[in-house]
Structure formats: C-alpha cells, structure tokens
C-alpha cells in the first residue's frame, strides 16, 4: 500500500475508535513519526494532507528539517537531552517529552530568549517500567506546579509511551489510567497549566488508545509499511 493509502486507513480506524471513546465529538490529531524515514517519504506524507510530523531524534530532525517541503509542522516526541534544546527550540511547536527539571529549566531559558513559550506535554510513565523515561504518577502535580511558574513553558497536556503488548487488550488499563489522571488534572485547574492534549498510542495500539480517550496519536510503522 502507498503512504497515502496507509494514511487513509489510519484515519478511518481513528474515526471508528473515536465513536467508542469517552469523548466521541473530540477530534484526534495524528502525528506522523519520522524516525528512520527519508525526506522523500515525508513529502509523500505531506502530500496526503498529513502535516504534523514527530521526530524523536534531534539529529534526524536537523537533517530532515530543511529537506522536507513547506507546510510541515514538527513535534519532538522522544527523550530530549537538555543540551540539545538549543537545536530545536525554534523548529518545533510541541515537545511531547517534558519530564525533568533540568530539561524544563533549559527550555524555559531558551524560549524566553526567543520571546514565546514552548507548548509541552508532560511525559508520564504509568506502567512504571524502569527502562523508560517519564514521571511517576505521584510526581506529576509537583512537577506541574513547578513548571507553571516558568514563562517559557506552556503545558498543554500529557504524553505516555506504553509498553509493547502482543495482545493490545493488555495495554487498555494503562491508557485508561492515563485518561483518568488527565481528567483529574483537568479538574484541578492548576493556574498556568492547560490539560487539553493526551498523546498516547502508536501503530500497534492507537485504536485502543483512542477508545480510551487519546486525542493525539503517534504513528510510524503502519504509515510507511
């Protein structure tokens, strides 16, 4: 199948899943994950009307940034080292992986110098896997309170990278717990913090994620296979 056909299929699946979600009227944003893909492939993605691209490697983003056609809107979706912030601060519109004080401080400084805040999602590690990045659930509120005071950072929601399960039903409770946390934080109305975006779900489990309340999904393999 072509990239355009894959994207059409993903959109259709998202629409189906959305009907079962806790918030069926809410649109779902698809992020095309660009790691290992060529600029030619990404231009095909753009031509299919999919303009949001998410890269998790700073170097790859730098390499592709000028090579893809105009109209691309870039997100950083993977672990971001503080010392790499300077390369992407003026290139991306959303950081999915805010999860440490040092990264927050660096982003805050860089963005204040640029004169506008960076939209960020706070990465939460609900399955508590030692190998992965992200805050534990109980760390989230204090972290939000800290970053809410940083003028260079605008938190817009949460992001989760779930463990891989062959049987996607096994990931459902994790997505459900993320959605509950997202709702709780929304109700808390922490000043300066917005809870609008819940980024979770990848190629093999995005339908389950949308059914459980994700309104942003990050899809790589199934777009290019």
Ligand X SMILES: *Cc1c(COP(=O)(O)O)cnc(C)c1O
Cβ neighbour number for residue 219 with a 10 Å cutoff:
23
Residue 21 or 123: which CB sits closer to ligand X? 123
Backbone phi, then psi, for 47, in 5-degree steps?
A: -65, -25
d(C-alpha 37, C-alpha 35), whole Å: 5
Among 28, 30, 78, 175, binds ligand X (CB under 6 A): 78
d(C-alpha 9, C-alpha 31), whole Å: 14
Q: Does 125 bind ligand X (CB under 6 A)?
A: no
CB 198 within 8 A of CB 28: no
Task: Mark 184-203 with x for binding to ligand X (rule: CB under 6 A) and - for no binding.
Answer: ------------------xx
Q: In the bound complex, what is the minimum distance in angstroms from residue 34's beta carbon to ligand X? A: 9
Q: In the bound complex, what is the minimum distance in angstroms from residue 138's beta carbon to ligand X? A: 23
Task: Mark 25-54 with x for binding to ligand X (rule: CB under 6 A) and - for no binding.
Answer: --------x-x-------------------
Q: At a CB cut-off of 8 Å and minimum separation 6, what does 112 contact? A: 151, 152
**Residues in binding contact with ligand X, number by CB under 6 A:** 12
Task: Mark 142-161 with x for binding to ligand X (rule: CB under 6 A) and - for no binding.
Answer: -------------------x
Q: Which stretch binds ligand X (CB under 6 A): 13-21, 58-66, 141-149, 216-224?
A: 216-224
SS3 category, 189: coil
d(C-alpha 163, C-alpha 5), whole Å: 28
Residue 79 or 154: which CB sits closer to ligand X? 79
Residue 78 or 157: which CB sits closer to ligand X? 78
Give the CA radius of gyration of the chain. Answer: 17
Cβ neighbour number for residue 110 with a 10 Å cutoff:
18
- Judged by the rule CB under 6 A, the positions of this chain that interact with ligand X are 33, 35, 56, 77-78, 161, 202-203, 218-221
């Amino acid at each position: 199948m072509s990239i355009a056909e894959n994207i059409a299929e993903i959109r259709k699946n998202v629409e189906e899943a959305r009907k079962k979600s806790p918030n069926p009227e809410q649109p779902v944003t698809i992020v095309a994950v660009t790691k290992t893909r060529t600029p030619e492939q990404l231009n095909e993605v753009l031509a299919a009307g999919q303009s949001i691209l998410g890269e998790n490697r700073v170097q790859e983003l730098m390499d592709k940034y000028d090579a893809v056609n105009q109209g691309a809107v870039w997100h950083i979706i993977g672990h971001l080292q503080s010392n790499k912030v300077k390369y992407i601060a003026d290139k991306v519109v959303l950081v999915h992986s805010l999860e440490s004080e040092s990264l927050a401080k660096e982003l805050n400084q860089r963005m204040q110098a640029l004169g506008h805040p960076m939209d960020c999602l706070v990465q939460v590690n609900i399955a508590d896997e030692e190998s992965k990045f992200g805050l534990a659930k109980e760390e989230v509120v204090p972290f939000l309170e800290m970053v809410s005071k940083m003028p260079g950072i605008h938190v817009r929601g949460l992001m989760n990278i779930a463990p891989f399960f062959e049987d996607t039903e096994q990931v459902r409770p994790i997505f459900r717990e993320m959605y509950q946390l997202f709702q709780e934080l929304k109700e808390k109305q922490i000043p300066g913090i917005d809870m609008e975006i819940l980024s979770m779900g990848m190629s093999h489990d995005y339908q389950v994620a949308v059914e459980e309340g994700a309104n942003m999904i990050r899809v790589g393999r199934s777009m290019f296979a």
